[in-house]
Structure 1
Amino acid sequence: MRGARQRSQELGQRHVHRASHGSLATPALTAQTVSPDELPCSGRSVRRLAARPTAWFGGGTQAAGRGKKPFMLQCVYIIVCFTPIILAAQMPVTSPTTSDTQYLSLTSFVAKYFKLLLVSAIVGALVAVGISFVQHPRWTAKMTVQIGQVAGADSVVPGVGAAPTNLIESQLTAVERYGLSSFKFDVLKAMGLPLPNTQNPDSDLIFDSLRAAPSKSLDLINVQASGYSPEKAAQTLRAAFSELRKEHDKAFIPTIERMKAELKDTSDRLVAMQKEYDSAYGSLKQASNQAKGQPAAHDVFLANVVATISVESRSLNLRKAQLEEALASLRTYPTRVLGDVYVADRPSTPGKLLYSAGGAFIGLIAGILIALFWNLRRR
């Protein structure tokens, strides 16, 4: 038994010698297995990622619910996080004691290039903090606009329910209007600013940040814009609303004036018809008193006139009530702002802590790539 064991050891040494000098050996034969615990995320996280691939790539019912990330962002995140780790864990190096080709584990990689990784992370954080001092802070202003509406007088039933109304402009059309370049140019002109791309940072920021989005209610839109000061951001939204109101008033004011003119004409006709009714009714009453119960042809004519005037009067009164109901502020109103412009006390740009964390992460990735390049050069 002892002699057989010695012969097997000799054969193993010969195989190692041939592997180190021959061309038949491959690194896969002598590779060391890297356990999931050696990765930056735990083995439980790796198993969870492998068990739910659809949740990372936008598939499945779980990803379709709360906060699904964009597909390309997930791919970039996985590639950036896992590619350097896998390369570092499988980088072949030569053992200092033997001539065997082995794979560098993650722990030995970090231990070997710890100073480089630490310095690169610190440098990245310092550079990011320096950028945060150079970059101007921005404030974001928000506002909710209610699109004006006009009630149809023909479909109004006074005192019965709500009448159907017509929006001055549809919700999606108003949202698209805020995205038009011509609309943004008018806003800049109203603010006394030059057009974008003219070396004016305020114009460029306002042109890029002014946007609107539809709200849950079909007559509301949410508008926001950014500025290098809270006052400039709020001024931008007010100027944009003035331009929107100006466009909507082109359709709203003529309609309201036409309805008011019809209401005035109806009221004047009612006054004239009431006078005519009073005159005819008075004549009819006087003639009936004189005739002493003997109706004449003239009396019949006056009775028909009084009945006709009464019917027309009821029709005009109904039309007047319809117009007054349609012109009520609850049913007909111009485009207006709900509440006031809101600007947060703190700027919307990231803080120095977030800048430093992002810079440290980018610097760490750069350090890993440099270490991998050095490792390849030494081979």
Structure 2
Amino acid sequence: MGKNILKRIMLIMYFVSVVLIILMSVRKIISIPVFSLAFIVQAVIIVIIHEFFHGISAEKNGLMFTSMYIGPFVLLRENRKFTGLKKVKFNGSYLGRANIENREIKNDDDFKIHSNAWRKAIKAGPVSDIRISTVFIIIGICTGIYEISIAVLMIDIFVCIPSFIYGDGEHLFLIKNNKVFEISVIYTYSMIGNISNQTDEYLYRKLIDEIDKTVLNDDSILPLCIAAQSVIYKSIAEDKIIPESIKNTAKDIVNKGPKCFSQGMDIIYFRSLINTMILYYLCVEENKDYAERLYLYVKGMKCSVPGERLDKMRTEHILGKEDYKKEIESGKYRNQMFYGCVGFENMENIIDDKVIEYSYIKNKKTET
């Protein structure tokens, strides 16, 4: 209910903003070409500064700032210095992103340090938006080029505020108030790096214990969905049976259905969980009947973000619906925002091999 009201308020703000821009243009208060140029230049600057402050805050508080994505480019970082620039396939789900990885987490004290560092890193981006916006507004007023001030206000309304509400702000709220989400974030961003077995075991056990303690309801379903998917994904890569409690949690989430997820991007996590479960029940437990039932939930789904198309290809290939061997082996359908993340890329390679191997074995049995 709260999100629906918020969406309506945002739509009203968008409409009023557009009308005001048109009126100011008609009355020659602003020049549309100057306004457009100011909007584009300032948007790029704000995105770069926003992501940089996410990363630099993480680095100052003990995490690793390993790369920064700006549109189709990724700046590589090592030993607190940017060391190179690579061009990657543009990821339409974000304009920029700071790639942050954890260091070793072997006990509760390490975990607390990392949790505090993540809170500060998430908060740093929106704080930088406020500061740079204030600077641009002052510059516009002092120079008399009001297009600068108005353009940055439009960026705040159309980009920064929605990004905070549905991105950084929501993540900051969850990491402060939901233990499952907090552990999931730290666990996931440890998996993408190159971590020790001790860190892996500590975080895995901590996440399992927290999932077991959490009651499934409307408030916890999204964090539990993310947590369960992380555990199942890693279990596929390591070819190990997951605890019954995790299976039951995942099944309960699926049974509740997509209607329990908020409109917008949240539904992606539901589809991702199901695709991961399909791979698990085929590759690890060889339970094709249940995998086929799960497939009915995602059959004909739309792939709305990078990585989802690969999820669909893996699912349909392993079930024998389509032949996507070449596409899976090419690696070009992977989510580019994890480019260079050693741990994650290793798991992706293992899972791709398992999907292709399983399909090959199944086809050979069918031929026989």
With normalisation by structure 1, the TM-score equals 0.22
Going by fraction, where is strand more abundant, 1 or 2?
A: 1
Going by fraction, where is helix more abundant, 1 or 2?
A: 2
Determine which structure has more spread, i.e. the larger CA radius of gyration. Answer: 1
